[in-house]
Each structure stands twice: as structure tokens, then as C-alpha cells.
A and B are shown apart, each in its own frame.
Chain A
């Protein structure tokens, strides 16, 4: 399944779950800040994508995989992402606006960086893992 098809489905599900006009659901729009999707709508979107593709989706996996990739080096200190952690995130999330990945941002800010395209990529990764 190609990325463009998945993106279209992600946009449709966001539209159905949140009532946002399809035209406003740009691939680069951040889910929480720009589209104003709240946490319950986010759950709804994830459940629908899980059902559609028979996969499991966890937003927290972005952080978990980044930590795993860093081995013994700290990903964060007192919840603030380290400079090396920011580099790993840039590689893991090439689609997001990297000007937002600045020194001082915390682990709880990661979720706010996620865009429609990030979600699409997560779905594609899980589909590929499933085989």
C-alpha cells in the first residue's frame, strides 16, 4: 500500500472523526495545534485507523523507538530532550518542521509536533511490520 493512499485514508478518518473540512487537512498540518484535534478525537482517529488496517498504533512509540536508538545515551534529562535526542527525532520525523525541534523542548512536546504526514508514516510502518 503506498503512502499517498494511506494519507488519503488518514485525511478521511480525521474528517469523519472531527468534522474538519478535508481541504484543511494538509499533510504538514500539526494535529493538535493547527487542526485543534483534542485527545479524545485523537483516540477516535487511532481506533479507526487500527480497525481499517488491522494494526496497533501508539503515539508514544515515537519516543520509545528514539530512546531505543540511542542505546545508553540519554534521550532526555529531567524531561528535556538532549541535543543528541533532538538529532534522533529529526531523523525519525523527517516530515516535521525541524525549526520546532529546538533546545529546551520537553518529551511532552513531541506529540504536538506530529503532523498528518507523521501519522500517515506511522500507519505505513505498522502495515509493513505486519507484513
Chain B
């Protein structure tokens, strides 16, 4: 299937994590120009992107994006548009979970969780969307989680924020569809990554047996769904929806 992502400009927030890296790598394989957004570990990101750049003819660019600094978003996005002319795809992949029982969660931690997993994304999205509006085209894919709909013990606020980003995607899709912009969500289940391993401690031990496919997923399997939804040629009639990449967990 030709996704026709060649030369598309793709911006990924939180691209330093396992899922973000798989998404970035997959877009590069399709011939896209990839802007790798990161907040921490700049050295690790520079090293990784430099290796990728050799293999993909300098089509990968690291971009510092701190969702906690919304005043810089406008400048960051304008700079990207000045250098690359457009942003065709935005993948909101950044996220961070604090695992604690709700009753001992500090108020500041609640606000941080909502910001890291919801408010920061929508504030950043607003800046990118303005350019997509002027282009009259674009695809936004938000990474939610199975926790937005199920489970969530020990990560109540994170789970709530993931539900919020999924609902935001649907409501935004309603607003911007007529301007040629599609907004969708991918909801990963148990994916082999550092974050999932940490969250898994509060999941039922028999979880994998509850899943029809009976194994954890891979970051690549999440990336495949993201790429499909990003493709204006293959997912042109799909907006406001969520793809659950969870091996059937919970059906």
C-alpha cells in the first residue's frame, strides 16, 4: 500500500520515547521529512537523529519542544514553517505518567499530569493548526492510551488526560474537517516500552491471558496505525476516530 507520504513534512512531539522513535523511523522509511520534537536528553536525540540522517539523506531534524513553555510554541512553529514551508502531519506523542494512588497525589502533580498529557498538547496543536488552516490540508494524530477508557488504577489523572485527548480529537475533527484537516487518535494497549513496563505494575497479572493475541504489542505496531491515519491518500475519509492497537484487550 502506497501511503504517499513521500516529502510530506511530519512533526512529532515526544519523539524520544520508544513509540515516538518507531513513528519517526517509519515516516522516514516512507520518504517523509521528519521533525523530531524532544524535551529532554538532547545528546541522545542528536546522536539518534544523526544516525538516522545518514541513512535517510538528511530528512530528519531535531526540534526542541517543551510543552511546558507555551509562549515559545508560536516561534517554534513559525520557524518550522519558514524552513520547511508547511506542516502536513502532526503527531502528538509526548506524555508522562506519575504513578501514585490518587489520595496522595499532590495538587501540583495533578496539574502537571493534565498539562503533560492534555493541555500541553492542545496548546501546541493550536499553533500548528493555524498553518494547516491556511494550507487547507493536514492530518493530526494524537496518541492516547487504552487507559483513556479502561484500567487506570494508580494513574487516575493520566488516564483522565488520555480520555480527554481522545474526546478532544473527535470534537476538533468536527470543527476543522471542512478545511481539509483530519484529526484522529491511536490508543495503544500494552506496548513493550519503558513507560508501559512501569504502568504494568498496577495491571492485573493475568492481563496478557485476557488479550486474544496474548502478548504485548510493539512500538512498530503503533507506528503502523499512526502512518495509516496520517496518509491523506489512504485514510482520506477517516476523521474523529480512534484505532485501538491493543491486541483486542478488553473486548
Report A-chain residues with C-beta under 8 Å of the C-beta of B48.
none
Q: Which residue of A lies closest to B136 (CB)?
A: A44
Residues in B whose Cβ lies below 8 Å from that of A43: 133
Q: Mark A33-64, 1 if CB is under 8 A from B, else 0.
A: 00000001001100110010000000000000
Asked if B75 is an interface residue, CB under 8 A from chain A, the answer is no
Contact between A47 and B175, CB atoms less than 8 A apart:
no
CB within 8 Å of A: which B175-210 residues: 175-176, 178-179
- Bound CA span A86–B92, Å: 46
Residues A51 and B133 in contact, CB atoms below 8 Å apart = no
Contact partners of A44 in chain B: CB under 8 A: 133, 179
Q: How far is the CB of A45 from chain B (nearest CB, A)?
A: 11
The A-B contact count (CB < 8 A) is: 12
Residues of B within 8 A of A48 (CB): 134
Contact B134 A40 (CB under 8 A): no
Contact indicator per residue, chain B 156-185, by CB within 8 Å of chain A (1) or not (0): 000000000000000000011011000000
- Interface presence of B72 (CB below 8 A): no
Task: Assess whether A40 is in contact with B130, with CB atoms less than 8 Å apart.
Answer: no
Give chain A residues whose Cβ lies under 8 Å from the Cβ of B179: 40, 44
B93 to chain A, nearest CB (A): 26
Chain B residues closer than 8 Å to A51, beta-carbon distance:
134
Binary contact readout B219-232 vs A (1 if CB under 8 angstroms, 0 otherwise): 00000000000000
Report, nearest first, the 4 A-B pairs whose CB atoms are least far apart: A47-B133, A40-B175, A47-B134, A44-B133
Chain A positions within 8 Å of B, measured between CB atoms, are 40, 43-44, 47-48, 51
9 contacts between A and B (CB under 8 A): A40-B176, A40-B178, A40-B179, A43-B133, A44-B133, A47-B130, A47-B133, A47-B134, A48-B134
